[in-house]
């Protein structure tokens, strides 16, 4: 590292000291904490992004969001060249970078790392980092508040109503002042590495930024408009390929009502909806509506509490309803039963996975059964879940003859496993997931469809090839994307001629219960087999198995939390009462074996 680079890093780092008494850790969601603690972290992740870009010689993404967390929180994470998450190999360096106690320590750490990784930081290579942010007040930058030198209504850009009381104005100005300084930090971090340029992509959903990074590195057009055009054109293609004999939705069933969690997804979905035909999207709880982000709204709230989000009620009975999370990378559907008293019938990520798997399996069967398709690539389809997937969903998928694989909890593990297949589908129950297509399989589809036009009277095999190719373009293959996922659900339901109620009847979830047990040291729990089997402490596995065997359709596992000294317990059984009892009994076993009486 030359003297110019060292001076630049020391000078910029001296402005951003880490918070005292706080240890930050990079996880699946990047760094997340109360926004007031993340100023230095955003700056340092900017450095991380620039170094990652130099190492890979690719465009990297930096997203500022706390997703489904409360509005006072924030977060920052990296999108790798594939559009996926930061390589796990770099996570320890990310932790060390965020927690370096001084500029001198930071410089020493960077020096050691770039030497180890063989990264040149002397300005002989120019790289780019794309920056995105959601609509929470502390992620909207000064640049986004101005247009051609004129101030736009700032409160609308901050996702809230015009302040109308002195107290509201004071709080709003405080948020704005924090905004003006907070979001320059990522740019300063990137540009503190010689040769690195930060490109502000503006206000985006998290999946949009990941999509842009992937597209740029594949040599494709990568603006936000390109994203919208690819999704809308792929959706139209799939609609045009719906079999004539299938029943199209009519009347009220043409409409889907979306809870946007008072986050960034609402505005984006409203724009996307204008580009679609045959689907009416009504957006509620948009960031423009003045509600509080993720407060009584959103996919996380709906999935965990199984209750109606704000702005929904009996008027929505019989309509397909959807909840997104704050940065629009998760979605769950729900049904408002007659006289629900606030309760809902949840159609979660497991059901979304099952719907996608059923449709893709059908298209592959058309490809494989037609004589003229025999020479085509035979696709290997795989489904990936974690142990938290409801047992009924796993049984259903296996009954379909699908290969079901399990990974440890965390999207990074699911995504990595899904890449092993020609078509890999993964979803968590919380609504985060996607479908991945191998390059070789896409090439085989493109070769087959080059001579096919939508106006031709092709065989079912040819139409299936067109459908699968359209799905590969509609779904976001970089990361879970609530907008693209919603469109794929809607077009598959139209293809099947199904109502949301028929979809929900694919299988019935087994009752489940989740608990947390406080322990002295969570590392005392060691698991294997995708976290479903306890290895340590000795004897706990046998005790859990003995207890679980007492309950019809019983299933139970325990795993340590990744962030706190807590052991998580998950239990399933044939009745809610049995699931509750099993979970409580196993929680007591954990408490007994770890010798920390927290009952």
pLDDT averaged over every residue in the chain: 88
Asked if 224 and 154 touch (Cβ cutoff 8 Å), the reply is: no
Residues 141 and 231 reside in one and the same domain? no
Residues 398 and 544 reside in one and the same domain? no
19 annotated as ligand-binding: no
What pLDDT was estimated at residue 464?
94
Q: What is the mean pLDDT of residues 66-82?
A: 92
Residues 371 and 387 reside in one and the same domain? yes
pLDDT of 174 higher than 70? no
290 annotated as ligand-binding: no
- The predicted-structure confidence for 506-563, as pLDDT tens digits, reads as follows 999 999 999 999 998 889 999 999 999 999 999 999 999 999 999 999 999 999 987 7
Q: Give which of 47, 74, 75, 77 is closest to 61, Cα–Cα.
A: 77
pLDDT of 355 higher than 70? yes
330 annotated as ligand-binding: no
What pLDDT was estimated at residue 186?
84
Residue 314 half-sphere exposure, CB side, CA atoms within 13 Å? 4
Report the C-alpha gap between 318 and 491 in whole angstroms. 18
Residues 428 and 531 reside in one and the same domain? no
- Quote the tokens at residue 504: 């929900």
In a domain, 213, yes or no: no
CATH at residue 314: 3.40.120.10
- Quote the tokens at residue 195: 């040769």
pLDDT of 373 higher than 70? no
Report the C-alpha gap between 173 and 178 in whole angstroms. 9
Find which of 144-158, 166-180, 227-241 is predicted with most confidence, using mean pLDDT. 227-241
- The predicted-structure confidence for 557-592, as pLDDT tens digits, reads as follows 999 987 778 999 999 999 999 999 999 999 999 999
568 annotated as ligand-binding: yes
CATH at residue 489: 3.40.120
Of the pLDDT bands very low, low, confident and very high (cuts 50, 70, 90), residue 444 is very high
Q: What is the mean pLDDT of residues 214-224?
A: 97
Of the pLDDT bands very low, low, confident and very high (cuts 50, 70, 90), residue 289 is confident
In a domain, 122, yes or no: yes
Residues 57 and 198 reside in one and the same domain? yes
What pLDDT was estimated at residue 518?
92
- Quote the tokens at residue 210: 């990941």
Q: What are phi and psi of 275, to 5 degrees?
A: -90, 0
In a domain, 214, yes or no: no
Residues 257 and 296 reside in one and the same domain? yes
Residues 337 and 354 reside in one and the same domain? no
Domain tally for the chain?
Answer: 4
Of the pLDDT bands very low, low, confident and very high (cuts 50, 70, 90), residue 288 is confident
In a domain, 212, yes or no: no
In a domain, 215, yes or no: no
What pLDDT was estimated at residue 162?
45
> What is the reported pTM?
0.90
Of the pLDDT bands very low, low, confident and very high (cuts 50, 70, 90), residue 452 is low
If one compares 419 and 180, the residue with the highest pLDDT of the two is 419
What pLDDT was estimated at residue 180?
43
What pLDDT was estimated at residue 165?
47
81 annotated as ligand-binding: no
pLDDT of 85 higher than 60? yes
pLDDT of 179 higher than 90? no
Residues 334 and 354 reside in one and the same domain? no
111 annotated as ligand-binding: no
Please state, for a pLDDT cut of 90, what percent of the chain lies above it.
76
The sign of the dihedral angle between the CA atoms of 572, 574, 577, 578 is negative
- The predicted-structure confidence for 397-418, as pLDDT tens digits, reads as follows 999 999 999 999 999 999 999 9
Range of the domain at 560: 512-594
Q: What are phi and psi of 329, to 5 degrees?
A: -110, 5
523 annotated as ligand-binding: no
What pLDDT was estimated at residue 422?
97
What pLDDT was estimated at residue 293?
92
Asked if 200 and 183 touch (Cβ cutoff 8 Å), the reply is: no
Which of 344, 379, 396 marks a domain boundary? 344
Which is the catalytic residue, given 67, 287, 323, 354? 67
In a domain, 218, yes or no: no
Pairing of strands 381-385, 60-64: unpaired
What pLDDT was estimated at residue 184?
77
Residues 374 and 335 reside in one and the same domain? no
Asked if 69 and 326 touch (Cβ cutoff 8 Å), the reply is: yes
Report the C-alpha gap between 413 and 362 in whole angstroms. 27
Which of 462, 486, 504 marks a domain boundary? 504
Instruction: Provide the β-strand partners of residue 196.
Output: 127
Residues 377 and 493 reside in one and the same domain? yes
In a domain, 209, yes or no: no
If one compares 490 and 455, the residue with the highest pLDDT of the two is 490
Q: Give which of 276, 232, 238, 248 is closest to 464, Cα–Cα.
A: 238
- Biggest distance spanned by C-alpha atoms of the chain: 74
Residues 123 and 246 reside in one and the same domain? no
- The predicted-structure confidence for 297-309, as pLDDT tens digits, reads as follows 999 999 999 999 9
325 annotated as ligand-binding: yes
- The predicted-structure confidence for 242-255, as pLDDT tens digits, reads as follows 988 765 554 446 89
Which of 318, 344, 370 marks a domain boundary? 344
Residues 191 and 59 reside in one and the same domain? yes
295 annotated as ligand-binding: no
**234 carries an active-site annotation:** no
In a domain, 170, yes or no: yes
- Quote the tokens at residue 161: 């109503």
Q: What are phi and psi of 290, to 5 degrees?
A: 90, 0
């Amino acid at each position: 590292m030359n003297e110019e680079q060292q001076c630049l890093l020391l000078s910029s780092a001296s402005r951003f000291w880490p918070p005292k008494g706080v240890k930050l850790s990079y996880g699946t969601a990047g760094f997340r904490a109360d926004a007031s603690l993340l100023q230095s972290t955003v700056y340092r992740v900017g450095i991380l992004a620039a170094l990652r870009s130099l190492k890979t010689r690719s465009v990297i993404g930096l997203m500022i969001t706390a997703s489904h967390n409360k509005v006072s929180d924030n977060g920052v994470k990296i999108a790798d060249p594939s559009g996926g998450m930061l390589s796990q190999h770099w996570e320890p360096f990310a932790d060390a970078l965020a927690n370096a106690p001084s500029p001198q320590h930071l410089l020493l750490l960077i020096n050691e790392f770039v030497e180890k990784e063989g990264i040149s930081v002397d300005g002989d290579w120019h790289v780019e980092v794309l920056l995105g942010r959601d609509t929470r007040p502390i992620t909207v930058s000064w640049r986004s508040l101005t247009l051609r030198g004129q101030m736009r209504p700032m409160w609308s850009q901050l996702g809230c109503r015009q302040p109308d009381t002195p107290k509201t104005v004071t709080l709003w100005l405080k948020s704005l002042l924090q905004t003006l300084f907070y979001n320059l930090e990522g740019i300063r971090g990137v540009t503190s590495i010689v040769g690195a340029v930060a490109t502000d992509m503006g206000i985006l959903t998290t999946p949009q930024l990941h999509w842009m990074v992937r597209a740029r590195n594949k040599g494709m057009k990568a603006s936000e408009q390109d994203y919208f055009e690819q999704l809308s054109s792929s959706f139209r293609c799939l609609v045009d390929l719906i079999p004539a004999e299938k029943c199209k939705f009519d009347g009220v069933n043409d409409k889907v009502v979306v809870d946007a969690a008072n986050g960034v997804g609402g505005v984006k979905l409203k724009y996307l909806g204008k580009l679609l035909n045959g689907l009416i999207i009504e957006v509620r709880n948009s960031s423009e509506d003045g509600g509080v982000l993720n407060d009584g709204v959103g996919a996380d709230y709906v999935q965990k509490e199984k209750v109606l989000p704000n702005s929904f009620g009996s008027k929505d009975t019989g309509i397909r309803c959807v909840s997104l999370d704050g940065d629009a990378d998760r979605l769950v559907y729900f049904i408002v039963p007659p006289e629900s008293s606030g309760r809902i019938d949840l159609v979660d990520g497991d059901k979304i996975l099952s719907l996608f798997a059923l449709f893709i399996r059908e298209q592959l069967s058309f490809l494989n059964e037609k004589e003229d398709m025999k020479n085509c690539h035979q696709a290997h389809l795989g489904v990936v879940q974690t142990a938290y997937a409801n047992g009924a969903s796993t049984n259903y998928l296996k009954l379909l003859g699908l290969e079901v694989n399990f990974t440890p909890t965390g999207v990074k593990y699911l995504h990595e496993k899904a890449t092993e297949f020609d078509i890999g589908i993964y979803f968590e129950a919380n609504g985060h997931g996607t479908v991945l297509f191998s390059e070789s399989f896409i090439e085989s589809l493109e070769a087959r469809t080059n001579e096919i036009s939508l106006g031709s009277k092709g065989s079912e095999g040819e139409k299936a090839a067109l459908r699968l190719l359209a799905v590969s373009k509609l779904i976001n293959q970089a990361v879970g994307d609530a907008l693209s996922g919603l469109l794929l659900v809607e077009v598959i339901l139209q293809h099947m001629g199904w109502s949301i109620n028929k979809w929900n009847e694919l299988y019935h979830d087994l009752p489940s219960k989740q608990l947390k047990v406080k322990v002295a040291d969570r590392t005392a729990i060691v698991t294997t087999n995708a976290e479903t089997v306890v290895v340590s402490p000795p004897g706990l596995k046998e005790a859990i198995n003995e207890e679980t065997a007492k309950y019809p359709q019983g299933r139970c596992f325990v795993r340590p939390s990744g962030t706190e000294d807590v052991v998580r317990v998950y239990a399933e059984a044939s009745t809610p009462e049995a699931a509750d009892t099993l979970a409580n009994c196993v929680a007591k076993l954990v408490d007994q074996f770890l010798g920390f009486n927290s009952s």
